[in-house]
Amino acid sequence: MNSLRRQLTRRLGLTLALLLGAGLTAIHLAVRSALVEAFDTSLRAQAFAVSALTEQEDGKVRFDFSADFLRGFGREHARNFFEIWTAAGAPLMRSPSLGEADLPGRADGPAQKPKAWNFALPNGHAGRAVGFAFRPKPADEERLTPRGAVVTLVFAADRSELDQTLHGLLAIIAGGGVVLLLAVFTAVPRVLGRGLAPLDRLGEQAAAINAASLTARFPAEGLPAELRPICARLNELLARLETSFERERRFSADLAHELRTPLAELRSLAECALKWPETRDATTDRDTLAIARQMEALVTQMLALARGEYGLLAAHRERVALDALVRDVWQPFAARAAARTLAVNFVLAPVTAVADPALLRSILGNLFDNATDHAPPGGALRITLEKSATGAIFRITNSADDLTPADMGKLFDRFWRKEAARSGNGQHTGLGLALARTLATATGWTLDATLDREGLLTFTLAGPEKID
């Protein structure tokens, strides 16, 4: 399984190991360089001491080496060596420690700071040497003499102790590196475990959430700053889920309530028809048909709502003359408005837009149905259509004396109706406005409602389509 904890442990461990290796390598190289430089400085100092004891007189080179000085270059336990050559390469002087052997005659670098190199000593040990050319000083410094001949000096020393020191340093650094690596790979998982503990707790809390505990929220107090936005988003998600589940529960309860009455009526009509078949007349059949149509309308609207909410409505857009569409949709409602003595006023601008005529008919039909049946008898109904900067705007305005500002938040809820409407003749299911808004959203339009201080309810349907 792709674990974030494992990835972080592996990457942090490898990163720290690389940094640790680089640091220890740099320390080793720096200390090694310092030790070798100190050894070379000692070699150069001793070589300069030998050159200082070399003199020339009348063109000849002589050596002012005392027995005590040469005792440091004896054959027994020989560790230091020197040899001097003429410019032609003939040996002039060699230390007793060399016996009959020779050192490599070379002079690297300037005489002030000659370069050092490694080589194998005549006794087979590892050695290190420096060499440079110089002019021996005159024996009588007060006497002017012509410039003397140039000679070459090579001074060497056994570097076994230096190598042992360097090997010991390498062993110490390597051993320390291994110990530190073990500490790193031991500490990183523990440190990560403590650092990721809040995330683990958040995961455990999330795993405990189910449909029965959607009211629970994740506490943000005490969480690291990186987890607080996640906690906030999870709480927002839980709030939306709680709202959605609560809406579905209300929907199921309201649906059961809405279907219970027509089903009870159907059952009553069927029982009466079976019990007293001789009294059955055409009224029973008409009542049964009306109840069936009511239930069919309810189920049809529910299916349309579900398809709209899940994005399954396919809009077929075409150019539509909106003013003509409004008058056409209004025709079936004209008689009902006249029966309720409603004063209907049309203010329709000639507007052509790209829209789905079938869905737009359904939206307007639901709005007209709501306005004609819920406006008070003898009231006014105003229907307007106008152009806007981004599209078309429909407004349907009617009196709504029974509504209050508190009702506006529930107006588009499924199955919501004022008590007066709920106790009416059962022609309204309480789904018309919810369906109208769902269809409007599916086609890219917006549907809102406002209630002014005079009790006038206005539905505003705005379309974003460009107008010709």
Q: Give residue limits of the domains in the chain.
A: 4-167, 228-309, 318-463
**Burial environment of residue 370 by CB neighbours within 10 A (0 to 12, 13 to 18, 19 or more):** buried
* CATH class given for the domain over 318-463: alpha beta
- Virtual CA dihedral for 319, 320, 321, 326, nearest 10 degrees? -170
Number of alpha carbons in the 13 Å side-chain half-sphere of residue 376: 9
> Both tokens of residue 88?
């032609």
Share in percent of the chain as helix, strand, coil (round to 5):
50, 20, 30
Read off the pLDDT of residues 152-181 as tens digits, 9 standing for 90 and up.
999 999 999 999 999 999 999 999 999 999
Helix (H) or strand (E) holding 131: strand 126-134
In angstroms, the CA 461 to CA 443 distance is 12
Q: Is the pLDDT of residue 43 over 60?
A: yes
Torsion sign (Cα): 35, 37, 39, 41: negative
Taking alpha carbons only, the member of 254, 244, 246, 220 closest to residue 234 is 220
pLDDT tens for 357-395 read 888 888 898 899 888 988 889 888 999 999 887 788 999
Residue 345 CA, chain-centre distance (Å), reads 57
Cα separation, 234 vs 23, whole angstroms = 44
Range of lowest pLDDT (47-56, 75-84, 307-316): 307-316
pLDDT exceeds 60 at position 144: no
What average pLDDT does this structure show over 345-362? Answer: 86
Tokens of residue 227, six digits: 């987890």
Tell me how far CA of residue 387 lies from CA of 392, 394, 398, 418, 442, in angstroms. Answer: 5, 9, 21, 33, 21
Classify domain 228-309 at the CATH class level: mainly alpha
| Res 335 pLDDT > 80 | yes
pLDDT tens for each residue of 387-435: 887 788 999 999 887 888 888 888 887 777 665 444 444 455 667 788 7
**Distances 414 to 246, 358, 362, 409, 451 between C-alpha atoms, Å:** 12, 22, 17, 12, 19
Half-sphere exposure of 379 (CA within 13 A, CB side): 20
172-212 tens-digit pLDDT: 999 999 999 999 888 888 888 888 888 888 888 888 888 77
Q: Could you say which of 3.40.50, 3.30.450, 3.40.1350, 3.30.530 is the CATH number of the domain covering 4-167? A: 3.30.450
Average pLDDT, the chain: 82
pLDDT digits (tens, 9 = 90+) for 261-307: 678 878 887 888 787 877 777 777 777 887 787 677 667 766 766 66
Sign of dihedral through CA atoms 123, 129, 135, 141? negative
Tokens standing for 434?
Answer: 């919810």
Distance CA(215)–CA(242), nearest Å, equals: 7
